[in-house]
Amino acid sequence: MFKILDCTLRDGGYYTNWDFDKSLVHTYLSSLNNLPVDYIEVGYRSIPIKEYYGKYFYSPVYELQELKSLTNKKLVIIFNEKDIRVEHVADLLEPIIGIVDMVRIALDPQQLGRALKLAAEIKRFGFEVGFNVMYMSKWKQYGNFVEELSGLDGLADYFYMVDSYGGVFPDDVKQTMDLIRSKTDCKIGFHGHNNLELALINSLTAIDYGADIVDSTILGMGRGAGNLKTELLLSVLNTKYNMDIDFNAIGNVVEGFDQLLKKYEWGTNVPYMISGSNSLPQKDVMDWYTTRVYSLNSMVRALQNQKNNIKDNAQLPVFKPAKSYSTVLILGGGSNSVEHSKAIIEFINQTENIAVVHSSSKNASYYKDVQADQFYCLVGNEGHRLEKVFSDLGDFKGTCVFPPFPRKMGTYIPAQIHDSCFEFEQISFTDKFKESHSILALQTALELKAEDVYIAGFDGYQEASISQLERSLVEENEFLFQIFQETYAKDIVSLTPTRYKTLLSGSVYSLVC
């Protein structure tokens, strides 16, 4: 009979910084006590790392003791092989002898040799040892690694195939198991990711093909597209393998983690599908998706660039405007730049030596007849939007600015405006971000040597209904406005109502006659 290891806290910790609410952990353990799970992987044991990581990244002894008292399962912790050396082992493991049953090692297959030495040291303290070997879909490229597998015999209790990219298919699982079996007698495990919704069928295939253990997490909680869902695996085992399942226990634990799912929204989506089916790292996707506001299309393009090994698809002339402007008005995509467009257009027409900078092209069509010079910030997918907004770019008179080279999100340049496109040499007032609407607009204002900087249509969001993505955009913008104003001792005055706190409030109606 195969075994099941639930690693919800360890893999879910990527979202929560490895801190989980105590009552949720209790619900988790008491529910799992009634379910046919054999091992619970709680988290990492780690040497100190600069940056805050929480409880289950370090898994202190008193915490493990408490968990031990609440569960009837075997407890597991994991080492990041890249950080842990043989000399760290005694300090990390001696205190948890008798509490934790198994220590796993997460490793790059190219470090198998080093990991074998680490495993020997772990074994010395009496723990079961599991090898979680990543990048399964690329193993065929690592010939040496396969030859070293015989070193596992007598040392590793489980050798895991980790489908890091979530891109393997059932046939790949079988082929890889054949490969492993030709080199070692070690028990085989499978850790699946769900980019292509194949985690279940791959895990069942592994089980049917004789695997000894599979990993899963509640609601699939885990980086990016997430893992095999424990509740799905158990539902199927109930009917397919006549395994007795307490669905009330499943109900309880799923309800507990459902709040976190609503908050962090892990699970697959188009960018994860693309990274999965092309064996591309999903770390970038996760960063783009959870902390920045990029359109799906920008992410798709960036991934396609990675796939095609295109760091960027065009190096453009550097933006060095010949002319300077005493006033720059930055227009955002908020509804206030439409609502008040009549007054804003009056303001533009009545102001001498003014340039208009479209941070987003969203509302640009309302301003297309304005006589002032206009600049368009084309981050990510914005070139497509420009084409949509101006159904005909034949007589386009504006200037388009792009982030500095190389651009992660790629470069889309509508064909008809190629001669009007420039990139920044650098972003001069912060290192923190390079590609966003606001940053391009502010950098443009700098390059145009504006004395007065106005902004309109940066409405902000209502606190009550703000999503996590919107919140991080607001935070990023507030940061940019502040650093810009501090660096250049220059106020940014908002001419329309705004919820941004770092902008100075003004009114377009006070400036027109």
Applying CB under 8 A, the residues found at the interface with a second copy are 167, 169-170, 194, 196-201, 229, 231-232, 235-236, 238-240, 247-248, 250-252, 254-255, 268-270, 273-274, 276-278, 295-297, 299-301, 304, 381, 384, 464-465
Helix, strand or coil, per DSSP, at residue 188: strand
Contact 429, 442 (CB under 8 A): yes
Helix, strand or coil, per DSSP, at residue 157: coil
Buried b / exposed e over 221-246, threshold 16 CB at 10 Å, is bbbbbbbbbbbbbbbbbbeeeebebe
Nearer to a second copy, 145 or 461 (CB): 461
Nearer to a second copy, 80 or 238 (CB): 238
Alpha helices by DSSP H, 125-190:
143-147, 170-181
Contact 254, 225 (CB under 8 A): no
Query: Measured from the CB of residue 57, what is the shortest distance to a second copy in angstroms?
Result: 29
Query: Measured from the CB of residue 269, what is the shortest distance to a second copy in angstroms?
Result: 8
Nearer to a second copy, 268 or 399 (CB): 268
Query: Measured from the CB of residue 487, what is the shortest distance to a second copy in angstroms?
Result: 35
Nearer to a second copy, 188 or 250 (CB): 250
319: left (phi over 0), alpha (psi -120 to 50) or beta: beta
Nearer to a second copy, 241 or 509 (CB): 241
Nearer to a second copy, 171 or 178 (CB): 171
Distances in whole angstroms, Cα of residue 352 to Cα of each of 346, 347, 372: 12, 10, 9
What residues contact 299, with CB distance under 8 A and at least 6 apart? 270, 271, 285, 288, 289, 409
Query: Measured from the CB of residue 156, what is the shortest distance to a second copy in angstroms?
Result: 30
485: left (phi over 0), alpha (psi -120 to 50) or beta: alpha
Nearer to a second copy, 227 or 443 (CB): 227
Contact 73, 38 (CB under 8 A): yes
Query: Measured from the CB of residue 479, what is the shortest distance to a second copy in angstroms?
Result: 27
Nearer to a second copy, 13 or 267 (CB): 267
Angle at the Cα of 152 from the Cα atoms of 43 and 102, rounded to 5 degrees: 25
Instruction: Provide the token pair at 72.
Output: 């009837």
Is the bond into 271 cis (omega within 30 degrees of 0)?
Answer: no
Rounded Cα distance between 223 and 235, Å, is 23
Nearer to a second copy, 43 or 271 (CB): 271
Helix, strand or coil, per DSSP, at residue 6: strand
Q: Which of 430, 452, 459, 457 is nearest to 443 (CA)?
A: 430
Q: Is the dihedral of CA 150, 156, 160, 164 positive or negative?
A: negative
Query: Measured from the CB of residue 167, what is the shortest distance to a second copy in angstroms?
Result: 8
Query: Measured from the CB of residue 236, what is the shortest distance to a second copy in angstroms?
Result: 6
Query: Measured from the CB of residue 303, what is the shortest distance to a second copy in angstroms?
Result: 8
Query: Measured from the CB of residue 67, what is the shortest distance to a second copy in angstroms?
Result: 21
The one-letter code for the residue type at 431 is: D
**Cα-flanking dihedrals φ and ψ of residue 439, to 5°?**
-65, -40
Rounded Cα distance between 229 and 160, Å, is 18
Q: Is the dihedral of CA 334, 501, 465, 13 positive or negative?
A: positive
Query: Measured from the CB of residue 4, what is the shortest distance to a second copy in angstroms?
Result: 16
Nearer to a second copy, 274 or 331 (CB): 274
Nearer to a second copy, 88 or 384 (CB): 384
Query: Measured from the CB of residue 61, what is the shortest distance to a second copy in angstroms?
Result: 29
Query: Measured from the CB of residue 10, what is the shortest distance to a second copy in angstroms?
Result: 22
Q: Which of 427, 399, 424 is nearest to 413 (CA)?
A: 399
